[in-house]
Structure 1
Amino acid sequence: MTLVSLRGSWSLILGVSGGMGAAIARALAAEGGNVIGVHFDRAAGREQADKLAAELRDAGVQAHFRNLNVAAPATREAVVAGAAELTGGAGLRVLVHSVAFGSLLPFLPSGESTRTITDRQMAMTLDVMAHSLVYWVQDLHAAGLLPRGAKVFGLTSAGSVNVVPSYGAVSAAKSALESHVRQLAVELAPAGVAVNALRAGTTLTPALDKIPGSAGYAEQCRARNPHGRLTETSDVGEAVALLSASDSSWITGNVIGVDGGELIVA
């Protein structure tokens, strides 16, 4: 397995403005990699993304962020064309799908609440958080922007196998994402492109805060983790940088735990 420098390489991070996406951007920039980022935010999120882009440029790399709907075909068309120009046609070293935008409603009424998920909300959650990975890979591959040695990462969670209140649609999306990763890994193997899902442990992010009862759940995970702490976004960033430094595509089609052993402890 040959390790290579990421200096001067290009990465595309979907969901770059905060949480995992921002940490991965910092980790790749620390290795000298340039970052193209897509995020979909209102004023506060846009300001946060602008600060991150400035931080990366101060680190000596290029950072080109766009505030667009990750799931829209027009966004893919514009960003893929921009990536081809920025990379000079050489393509991307890394594609990261770190998109946290879905419905957090129960399937059935519970207690005093009668609100339940609708078919439209279910479809939107799976399309944005799972199916969009396939569409991005399709368009990047068609444009010749996933060269041999490229790495594709989808961010999943233990929610794909565990039941968490109001997490049903997102759980389904994470399960679908993992399935898409396996299929893409097989289809991209002849091209020498590795595709994996990273299953981060429980991490204090804005996405976690939106899940009902997340504070208590996080404390249970902290107590269970053999490292005595929760996963931090920088742990995930380090994992992406490490895995991306290999030219091999032999590690592919996996769900790789980045959780300090959280999931294996009963």
Structure 2
Amino acid sequence: MGNLQGKIALVTGGSRGIGRAIAHRLARDGALVAVHYGSNKAAADETVTTIVDSGGRAFSVGADLRAADGVDALVAALDSHGESAVDILVHNAGLNFMGRPIEVLAVDEFDQMIAVNVRAPVFLTQRLLPRMSDGGRIIAISSVSTRVASSGGSIGYPLTKGALDVFSRTLAKHLGPRGITVNAVAVGFTRTDMTADALADPAHLERTIGQTALGRIGQAPDIADAVAFLASDDARWITGTKLDVTGGVNL
């Protein structure tokens, strides 16, 4: 993998789960990582501490991306740390109200998912583009749910991730002249605190493993390693693509 020394990375939703693994991996590769959190400052500070204890560099920034001023708050938090430039922007923060087919999906739930999963990446990118160096990296965490229909009919979350895919592909062409690559990473069945309850059901776990070609549930480092590749110089000729990091779900 390429060396990220001298690079500054922002990972939204970096305080736990996949985001925490991404923050750790980018820091291990040499980047200074801004670990964003929505409400759990203690978790973000713990992530920062473990990165620093491992010889990396990181700091935490808080902002509720559901709020109308969430992006403003996040940019202000970056400024308060004296970091105006960003080389690597990872849109990882996500909100998913699970088990919501169209018959029961509430307007407020949908609006919150749109705010975190779509509005925040769009306008955070807008705000940070003037600060991003040419040759930078933008990586959006997407989902296998955009190509595999949910067995329970859950519709809101896949819709938001589909929008993020279009955003990434369109932005890749738009930013090509600046050498900025924009890619998405499709995540499949991955063990995180968000999926812990569902995977605790033995029948659900067995069914999920059975749908995955590599025969296991994904782990957060599986995703983080793929993101680190896209952030590196090794991926300099890759843009506008969606990297499937699902272990082969529903092949």
Same topology, TM > 0.5: yes
- The Cα of 1:216 is off from its aligned counterpart by 4.1
For residues 192-231 of structure 1, the aligned pairs below 5 Å read: 192-209=179-196, 216-231=203-218
> What is residue 111 of structure 2 aligned with on the other side?
123
Seen in structure 2, the aligned counterparts of structure 1 residues 226 and 193 have a Cα distance that, compared at 3 Å, is same
| Contact 2:35 2:44 (8 Å CA) reproduced | no
> What is residue 239 of structure 2 aligned with on the other side?
252
Instruction: Please state if 1:47 is matched with 2:35.
Output: no
| Contact 1:32 1:60 (8 Å CA) reproduced | no
SS of the residue corresponding to residue 20 of structure 1 reads helix
Seen in structure 2, the aligned counterparts of structure 1 residues 7 and 214 have a Cα distance that, compared at 3 Å, is farther
RMSD: 2.5
| Contact 1:149 1:248 (8 Å CA) reproduced | no
| Contact 2:65 2:115 (8 Å CA) reproduced | no
Seen in structure 2, the aligned counterparts of structure 1 residues 180 and 31 have a Cα distance that, compared at 3 Å, is same
> What is residue 144 of structure 2 aligned with on the other side?
158
SS of the residue corresponding to residue 80 of structure 1 reads helix
Seen in structure 2, the aligned counterparts of structure 1 residues 248 and 231 have a Cα distance that, compared at 3 Å, is closer
- The Cα of 1:55 is off from its aligned counterpart by 0.5
Task: Render the CA deviation track for 1:186-241: whole Å, top value 9, x for unaligned.
Answer: 11111111111100221011222466997644432322333222211101111111
| Contact 2:138 2:182 (8 Å CA) reproduced | yes
> What is residue 25 of structure 1 aligned with on the other side?
23
SS of the residue corresponding to residue 183 of structure 2 reads strand
Seen in structure 2, the aligned counterparts of structure 1 residues 159 and 235 have a Cα distance that, compared at 3 Å, is same
SS of the residue corresponding to residue 135 of structure 2 reads coil
CA distance in 2 between partners of 1:8 and 1:83 (Å)? 17
Seen in structure 2, the aligned counterparts of structure 1 residues 244 and 217 have a Cα distance that, compared at 3 Å, is same
Seen in structure 2, the aligned counterparts of structure 1 residues 175 and 117 have a Cα distance that, compared at 3 Å, is same
| Contact 1:189 1:249 (8 Å CA) reproduced | no
User: Which stretch has the larger CA shift, 65-74 or 192-201?
Assistant: 65-74
| Contact 1:159 1:167 (8 Å CA) reproduced | no
> What is residue 138 of structure 1 aligned with on the other side?
126
User: Which stretch has the larger CA shift, 27-36 or 99-108?
Assistant: 99-108
User: Which stretch has the larger CA shift, 50-59 or 224-233?
Assistant: 224-233
More strand by share: 2
SS of the residue corresponding to residue 132 of structure 2 reads coil
> What is residue 112 of structure 1 aligned with on the other side?
none
CA distance in 1 between partners of 2:10 and 2:228 (Å)? 13
CA distance in 2 between partners of 1:245 and 1:199 (Å)? 18
CA distance in 2 between partners of 1:12 and 1:260 (Å)? 26
> What is residue 236 of structure 1 aligned with on the other side?
223
Seen in structure 2, the aligned counterparts of structure 1 residues 7 and 256 have a Cα distance that, compared at 3 Å, is same
User: Which stretch has the larger CA shift, 203-212 or 129-138?
Assistant: 203-212
Seen in structure 2, the aligned counterparts of structure 1 residues 132 and 79 have a Cα distance that, compared at 3 Å, is closer
> What is residue 261 of structure 1 aligned with on the other side?
248
Gaps of 5+ in 2: none
Seen in structure 2, the aligned counterparts of structure 1 residues 216 and 126 have a Cα distance that, compared at 3 Å, is farther
Seen in structure 2, the aligned counterparts of structure 1 residues 218 and 157 have a Cα distance that, compared at 3 Å, is farther
Match for residue 94 of structure 1 among 88, 97, 119:
88
- The Cα of 1:28 is off from its aligned counterpart by 0.7
Seen in structure 2, the aligned counterparts of structure 1 residues 211 and 220 have a Cα distance that, compared at 3 Å, is closer
CA distance in 2 between partners of 1:39 and 1:100 (Å)? 11
CA distance in 1 between partners of 2:140 and 2:201 (Å)? 22
User: Which stretch has the larger CA shift, 241-250 or 54-63?
Assistant: 241-250
